[in-house]
Amino acid sequence: MKKTAGVMGWPLSHSLSPRLHGYWIDKYKLNAGYAALPVRPEDLEAVLRRLPAESLQKGEIFRGTNLTIPLKETAMDIVDVLDPSARRIGAVNTIVLGESGEMIGRNTDGVGFMDSLNEHPDVAALQGGTAVLVGTGGAARAVAVALVDMGFARILMTNRTRERAENLAAHIGEKAEVVDWHARSDCLAEADFLVNTTSLGMSGQPSLDLPLDALKATAIVTDIIYAPQQTELLKAAKLRGNETIEGIGMLLHQAKAGFEAWFGTRPEVDAGLRDHVLEGLKGNE
């Protein structure tokens, strides 16, 4: 019987996940499918509860779904079982249906972020340094945990709503410090690593307002947004001579564990996959 999975979010026009997983399904010749499933936060639980039965009526087995903006934190109160990865991060980006039909909430964003950075040896040299994290959403929570695991001594967090930054800092612990939004550019003088986790700069969204005048020349800048491939933040950093890392790597690497759990095959992130996914960006930037 055909196994199916998908990605849920609102909106989903930017998502390259169907293209990504479709590449692997074709490569490994699986009887499987992966689809974009636009879902509003208020409808998430109802959709998740009814999809398994609806899939069986079509002769398919619904195995689970990825979650993107703005559903990652909403799912924490919906899934039946929280995997330690999701519990530690405080957000769910992958749901897998267990043998008894229970919804298991996982988070592969943190591991995906670290795996993508492992492709850039210069990042390892930043251990013990200071990272500046912009944003406090579901992806930010995963990135913050990853920064701790990577050995950053300080993580400066800034967000337009200070309360959300304070909540995330409390979740992360003593390495986290909150910076007021109005001081976001000044704190870049301390940054060895800068990461944007907000949706600002995504195709169809306003640009991130973050002047880089104070940023160290040696700082590395990354943006987890992958559509467009080169955000205004990355362009500005590159013009200053800073090393930059695109968001596409995190997208590719975070997808591995979910694909394996749903379809039983451990996929590989290779040049062919990267080229195929990036081809989907053309005309949308």
Active-site residue numbers? 72
Any binding-site annotation on 247?
Answer: yes
Any binding-site annotation on 161?
Answer: yes
Residue of 121, 111, 58 lying closest to 88 (CA atoms): 111
Any binding-site annotation on 274?
Answer: no
d(Cα 34, Cα 58) in Å, to the nearest integer?
15
Any binding-site annotation on 254?
Answer: yes
In the chain, what is the straight-line distance between the N-terminal and C-terminal CA atoms, in Å?
38
Q: Cβ distance 156 to 180 under 8 Å? A: no
Any binding-site annotation on 192?
Answer: no
Any binding-site annotation on 93?
Answer: yes
Any binding-site annotation on 28?
Answer: no
Any binding-site annotation on 106?
Answer: no
Look at strands 193-196 and 130-134 and give their pairing. Answer: parallel
The single-letter code of the amino acid at 277 is V
Whose structure tokens read 């990036």?
278
Q: Cβ distance 221 to 242 under 8 Å? A: yes
Query: What number of CA atoms fall less than 13 Å from residue 186's CA on the CB side?
Result: 6
Q: Cβ distance 152 to 172 under 8 Å? A: no
Any binding-site annotation on 162?
Answer: yes
- For every residue of 128-171, DSSP letters joined together read TSEEEEE--SHHHHHHHHHHHHTT-SEEEEE-SSHHHHHHHHHH
Q: Cβ distance 136 to 156 under 8 Å? A: no
Any binding-site annotation on 16?
Answer: yes
Q: Which residues are annotated as a binding site?
A: 15-17, 68, 93, 109, 159-164, 224, 226, 247, 254
Q: Which residues are annotated as a binding site for shikimate?
A: 15-17, 68, 93, 109, 226, 254
Q: Which residues are annotated as a binding site for NADP(+)?
A: 159-164, 224, 247
